[in-house]
A and B are shown apart, each in its own frame.
Chain A
Amino acid sequence: MEAPPVTVMPVTGGTINMMEYLLQGSVLDQSLESLLHRLRGLCDNMEPESFADHELVYLLKGQQGNPFMLRARRSLLHPTAPWHLRYLGQPEVGDKSRHALVRNCVDVAASHSLPDFLNEMGFRMDHEFVAKGQVFRKGAMKVVVSKLLRVLASGNTENTEPMSLSYLVELSVLAPAGQDTVSEDMRSFAEQLKPLVHLEKIDPKRLM
Chain B
Amino acid sequence: MSGGPAVRVSIESQCERQVQEVSLDGLETYVPPLSMSQNLAKLAHREPRSQPEPEEDEGVWGVFYCGAAALERSYVVFSRFDSASVQTPQVFQLISKKKSLATAAQLLLKGAEKLTKSLAENQEQRRQRDFNSELLRLRSQWKLRKLGHKILGDLSYRSAGSLFPHHGTFEVIKNTDIDLDKKVPDDYCPLNVQIPSDLEGSAYIKVSIQKQSADIGDLGTVSLFRRQPKAKPASQMWHLKLEAAQNVLLCKEIFAQLSREAVQIKSQIPHIVVKNQILSQPFPGLQLSISLCHSTGEKKIQRASPDKSKPDDHLYVLEHNLHQLIREFHKQTLSSVVMPHPASSPFGHKRLRLAGPMAYDKAEISSLQQSEGLLEKIIKQAKHIFLRSRTARTIDSLASRIEDPQIQAHWSNINSVYESSVKVLITSQGYEQICKSIQLQLNIGVEQIRVVHRDGRVVTLSHQEQELQDFLLSQMSQHQVHAVQQLAKVMGWHVLSFSNHVGLGPIESIGNASAITVASPSGEHTISVRNGPESGCKVLVQFPRSQAKELLKSDVLQEGRWTHLRGPYREVHWGRMEGRNFVYKMELLMAALTPCP
Which residues of A are at the interface with B, using a C-beta cutoff of 8 A?
A: 43-47, 49, 51, 53, 55, 71, 73-75, 77-78, 81-84, 86, 107-111, 131, 133, 135, 137-140, 142, 144, 146, 174, 192
Contact = CB atoms under 8 A, between A and B. Distances in A.
Contacts of B140: none
Contacts of B237: none
B148 to A, nearest CB: 12
Contacts of B340: 51, 84, 135, 142
B336 A49 contact: yes
Interface stretch (B248-256, B344-352, B456-464): B344-352
Contacts of B334: 44-46
B336 A84 contact: no
B341 A109 contact: no
Given A45-B160, A47-B336, A86 B344 contact: yes
The residue among A71, A107, A109 with the most chain B CB atoms within 10 A of its own CB is A109
B343 interface: yes
Given A44-B159, A45-B159, A107 B339 contact: no
Given A73-B344, A108-B356, A133-B343, 17 more contacts: A44-B161, A51-B341, A51-B343, A55-B342, A71-B344, A75-B342, A81-B342, A81-B350, A82-B353, A82-B354, A83-B357, A109-B345, A109-B354, A109-B355, A109-B357, A110-B357, A144-B343
A112 B8 CA distance: 124
6 contacts: A55-B342, A75-B343, A82-B356, A83-B342, A107-B345, A109-B353
Nearest to B357: A111
A15 B417 CA distance: 39
B479 to A, nearest CB: 58
A47 B160 CA distance: 12
A51 B353 contact: no
Contacts of B260: none
Contacts of B347: 137, 140, 142
Contacts of A73: 342-345
B145 interface: yes
Q: Is chain A's interface secondary structure helix, strand, loop, or mixed overall?
A: strand
A44 B342 CA distance: 20
A40 to B, nearest CB: 11
Contacts of B126: none
A82 B357 contact: yes
A63 B332 CA distance: 49
Given A44-B159, A81-B350, A53 B356 contact: no
A43 B357 CA distance: 31
A53 B353 contact: no
A75 B158 CA distance: 29
A55 B158 CA distance: 33
A134 to B, nearest CB: 9
B342 A74 contact: yes
Contacts of A111: 357-358
Contact of B356 (A75, A81, A109): A109
Contacts of A74: 342
Contacts of A110: 356-357
B83 to A, nearest CB: 78
A144 B334 CA distance: 16
Most buried by A among B145, B159, B341, B344: B344
Contacts of B158: 139
A73 B355 CA distance: 17
Interface string B342-381: 1111110010011111100000000000000000000000
Contacts of A133: 343
Contacts of B346: 107, 174
Of A75, A84, A144, which is in contact with the most chain B CB atoms at under 10 Å from its CB?
A: A84
B342 A192 contact: no
Contact of B339 (A55, A109, A135): A135
Report, nearest first, the 6 A-B pairs whose CB atoms are least far apart. A111-B357, A75-B341, A53-B342, A73-B342, A84-B345, A109-B356
A49 B339 contact: yes
B154 to A, nearest CB: 11
A35 to B, nearest CB: 16
B364 to A, nearest CB: 15
A174 B159 CA distance: 19
Interface in B101-132: none
A193 to B, nearest CB: 12
A82 B356 CA distance: 9
Interface string B133-176: 00000000000010000000000001111000000000000000
A29 B177 CA distance: 48
B357 A77 contact: no
Nearest to B333: A44
A55 B344 CA distance: 10
Nearest to B359: A111
Contacts of B353: 81-82, 109
B356 A84 contact: no
A18 to B, nearest CB: 8
B356 A135 contact: no
Contacts of B355: 109
A135 B345 CA distance: 11
B385 to A, nearest CB: 33
A22 to B, nearest CB: 11
B13 to A, nearest CB: 84
Contacts of B336: 46-47, 49
B335 to A, nearest CB: 8
Contacts of A75: 341-343
A81 B341 contact: yes
Nearest to A77: B341
Contacts of B161: 44
A181 to B, nearest CB: 12
A33 to B, nearest CB: 20
Contacts of A135: 339-340, 343
A39 B343 CA distance: 17
Contacts of A109: 345, 353-357
A81 B336 CA distance: 14
A146 B343 contact: yes
A46 B337 CA distance: 11
Nearest to B352: A109
A191 B334 CA distance: 24
A167 to B, nearest CB: 13
A85 to B, nearest CB: 10
B144 to A, nearest CB: 11
A146 B340 CA distance: 14
A75 B343 CA distance: 8
Contacts of B350: 81
Contacts of B145: 192
Nearest to B343: A51
A136 to B, nearest CB: 9
Contacts of A131: 343
Nearest to A192: B145
Contacts of A174: 346
